[in-house]
Structure 1
Amino acid sequence: MTTPSVSDDRQPTHELSVDPRLVRGPLKGYHHVTHVLLADRTWIKCREPRAEILWFDRRCFKSEEELLRVLKKHDIACVPDVVAIGGTDFQGFIEGRTVGARRWWSSRSVSDAIFDQLVDVFREMVRIRPHMLQAERRCEPEDRPEDGDTDGFLERLIVFMEEQVYERNRPQFEGLFRELGVADESFTRLRKAVSGLTSRPFCLLHADLHRKNLIVDPRGRLWVIDWELAMVGDPLYDLATHLYLMRYPAWQENRMTQEWCRVVERVHPGSSRGWEVDLSRILEFKRAQSVFTDVIRVALKLREQAEFSWVGLPAAAARLQRILTAAAEPLGLENVPAHKQIMAALVRWHRESDTVVMNASDAS
């Protein structure tokens, strides 16, 4: 079953004229609570944002449904239909399973049938040039790098991470970041590590092509859902993000890289230019990005229930140690803290956060 996607101004599920017996859900995803329902003889997806969840991803287009309508006009076949019901746009429901649904997916490889269709998805996206995407944008014009400015494109992602993730959450998490070896100068080191990218012509990017956003219907056809992070930018960034999220075995990652280069060069020459050096740089950015988002997510998850999860502490610390180790080079981390040090840092963060909350309550 898919994780549906809906704009934030979507009509709430309970206001639609539907038979409650024909509603599936709620299905709780990371960012949304989803209902699948039959309205006007059409199965649609309705997604309501979870207010308590932090959003760490840059969004480019104002309406996902508007973007999908544009993509349909350009014959992108793998995207859900959009239907208007009661003056509101909804995405059609794709019946099927996610690529990550099978129990044997821990082998990490995908079948040849799925692999070939994924290559086709990249082929379709690289032909969608910036001027073809006539959909309302969220970002200001000055926040959009010129076509081919791959360094500028990655810099805007770093700025977003620095300002909207790190700085915005600094009051609550600065001490924890500091104990883990991450500070303001980490961004200077990161910029130095990833600068100097080769220019490539921009195109449509999904920017979140992982297993749960890939649906295989009963006929074996692959569909791509959750386009809310789609953007215009460096095509190599989409490949790097896909490889980072899919965790292919090495042989299939190499095969995907070679096939990606072949198809994008055939559609738009220059789209893979410089990949031999730049792919590793963008992957370094993705590893660094995980540090800033996952430190916060892991810490908050330990406090998801009414009490601190002491049982979950060792696994949480192990996860952060893996993430820090992977990002040590681009962030310039000389020494990654030991497992026990990370556990101690998480406990101190928890206790200090409780103290801040108690002091705020006393002051009020």
Structure 2
Amino acid sequence: MTPRTVSDVRLRADELSGDATVVIGPLEGYHHETYVFPLPDGTRVVKCREPRAHILWFDRRCFVSEEELLCALAGRIARVPEIVDMEGVGLQRFIEGRTLGASRRLSRRVPEAFFGQIVGLFREMVRITPAELGSVERRCAPEDRAEDGDSDGFLERLVVFIEEHVYARNAAEFGPLFHALGVGEEAFTRLRKHVAGLKERPFCLLHADLHRENFIVDPQGLLWTIDWELAMLGDPLYDLATHLHLMRYPADQELRMTHEWCRAVEGVRPGSSYGWAHDLGRILGFKRAQSVFTDVVRVSLSLSERGEPSWFALHGAAGKLQRVLIAAAEPLGLEEVPSRSEITAALVRHHRDRR
């Protein structure tokens, strides 16, 4: 048997912990290899992690360092992981508790105590303007950033990212599959037409990935927000739309969150919810379209990892892709969505071609 190679991040965690036997991991996670261990003085538990090699990034990232951003948010956002310096390495404090998703496996309804804390988080974020985070290093060049308030320009840059970094970058391998599903290059023209004409809103800090697994409920019942790696500066309504898309609230809670978000952000920075009734559906349409392109790649890759996929796996994968295509039919201008059997056949052809 070939011995397993120990990763650099595991070696670093062993070294920083002072005792390899107390290191736990790797934890589950798509983007990072993560280990957890208590500090030698026993005061805190921290995370040591590195991005996984050879993974596909489907989201535009704004800041160079999540740890640098978290340092800047200390005192501005109530409950985010603090950064602990160990021998010149910034480590995030590990928030002990359970995810919001784990606490409500049988219901999409969010308990009242947590619902109010999520609204409070939006209130805190809308206070943080781009100027206040000007010292935090950004990935994108200044000329590639939308002007403050240009919600159309902000969303156009996200469309370009999906078009260039998800679709075009993977076209050699996945192009025939995209076309078989009706989402070729022309889909981006239709998407741009669907989302055009957004109202202007003052930019602020966005988390951009607020779903149930990124909320941790601590033993005192307080909600902590983790995984700020996709945070950006932009249209506040985009953060609400992303949150609603990912949370899958029951209809009454989705409506209530929308109205409470409007009250919260308007109370801090008037104009932050301007035009929401006109624009929220457009931005939600973009999120549904984005899911099509990312899920096509992810689903097909997951089938390939299994060797020769079973009929059951293919049928389930085709069902998932059909659901996201139906949800995105309007923003992508799809007159007809392929049947499950047609999608299954396209996946089989793609799998055989990849081999």
User: Structure 2: how far apart are the matches of 1:21 and 1:218?
Assistant: 26
Q: State the shift of 1:253 in Å.
A: 0.3
Residue pair 1:10, 1:88 contacting (<8 A) in 2 also: no
Any idea what SS the aligned residue of 1:16 has? helix
Aligned counterpart, 1:58: 60
Aligned counterpart, 1:105: 105
Quick check: 1:212 aligned with 2:213?
yes
Quick check: 1:326 aligned with 2:323?
no
User: Structure 2: how far apart are the matches of 1:106 and 1:121?
Assistant: 25
Aligned counterpart, 2:300: 299
Cα 1:250–1:328 shift into 2, 3 Å: same
User: Structure 1: how far apart are the matches of 2:18 and 2:316?
Assistant: 43
Q: State the shift of 1:13 in Å.
A: 2.4
Aligned counterpart, 2:47: 45
Superposed counterparts of 1:104-183, under 5 Å = 104-133=104-133, 134-183=135-184
Q: Deviations over 1:250-273 (max 9, x none)?
A: 000000000000010000000000
Q: Deviations over 1:184-223 (max 9, x none)?
A: 1100000000000000000000000000000010000110
Any idea what SS the aligned residue of 1:264 has? helix
User: Structure 2: how far apart are the matches of 1:12 and 1:181?
Assistant: 46
Cα 1:251–1:180 shift into 2, 3 Å: same
- Runs of 4+ aligned residues of structure 1 deviating over 4 Å after TM superposition are 8-11
Q: Deviations over 1:83-122 (max 9, x none)?
A: 10011101001010000002x4332011000000000000
TM-score (norm 2): 0.94
Aligned counterpart, 1:344: 345
User: Structure 2: how far apart are the matches of 1:129 and 1:9?
Assistant: 34
Amino acid at match of 2:170: N
Q: State the shift of 1:11 in Å.
A: 8.4
User: Structure 2: how far apart are the matches of 1:68 and 1:135?
Assistant: 10
Aligned counterpart, 1:237: 238
Cα 1:36–1:10 shift into 2, 3 Å: closer
TM-score (norm 1): 0.92
Q: State the shift of 1:21 in Å.
A: 2.0
User: Structure 2: how far apart are the matches of 1:306 and 1:35?
Assistant: 29
Aligned counterpart, 2:4: none
User: Structure 1: how far apart are the matches of 2:233 and 2:222?
Assistant: 26
Q: State the shift of 1:170 in Å.
A: 0.2
Amino acid at match of 1:158: V
Aligned counterpart, 2:3: none
User: Structure 1: how far apart are the matches of 2:45 and 2:140?
Assistant: 32
Any idea what SS the aligned residue of 1:168 has? helix
Give the aligned CA root-mean-square deviation in angstroms. Answer: 1.5
Any idea what SS the aligned residue of 2:57 has? coil
Residue pair 1:18, 1:38 contacting (<8 A) in 2 also: no
User: Structure 2: how far apart are the matches of 1:62 and 1:163?
Assistant: 20
Amino acid at match of 1:18: G
Which stretch of the first structure deviates more once superposed, 27-36 or 277-286?
27-36
Q: State the shift of 1:334 in Å.
A: 1.0
Aligned counterpart, 2:81: 80
Aligned counterpart, 2:70: 68
User: Structure 1: how far apart are the matches of 2:24 and 2:15?
Assistant: 16
Q: State the shift of 1:79 in Å.
A: 0.8
Residue pair 1:303, 1:309 contacting (<8 A) in 2 also: no
Provide the identity percentage. 65
